Structure 1
């Protein structure tokens, strides 16, 4: 099963509250923090909402 490495590259401060909640729900705290999440529809939907704040890499 493929996994995604998600890295926060821009701060979530001064963003919409919904976007800040998504960043926190993914487990990203500070700029340059990374998490590994499964590649599924729920994760992809969350990433679509904050695509301008993150960098995504696919891991096998």
Structure 2
């Protein structure tokens, strides 16, 4: 599977609770925090849900 780096670039303040929980489940929560994760359908869906708050780069 491919790995991606997901970096939070926008704040979660004022966002719906489900988006806040999605960021937490991804291991994000502060601006500029990054994770490297293998992409699968579940992770892909989570990224799609908060794609306006994060930046995704292939590794």
Which TM-score band applies after superposition, normalised by the shorter structure?
Answer: over 0.9
CA distance in 1, matches of 2:35, 2:44: 14
CA distance in 1, matches of 2:28, 2:46: 13
Alignment RMSD: 0.7
CA distance in 1, matches of 2:51, 2:38: 17
SS in 2 for 1:31: coil
Structure 1: segments with no counterpart, 5+ residues: none
Structure 2: segments with no counterpart, 5+ residues: none
CA distance in 2, matches of 1:3, 1:52: 20
SS in 2 for 1:21: helix
SS in 2 for 1:10: coil
Question: Under a length normalisation based on structure 2, what TM-score does the superposition of the two structures give?
Answer: 0.95
Per-residue deviation, residues 2-51 of structure 1 (Å, max 9, x unmatched): 10100000001110000000000100121000001111111100001000
- Runs of 4 or more above 6 Å deviation: none
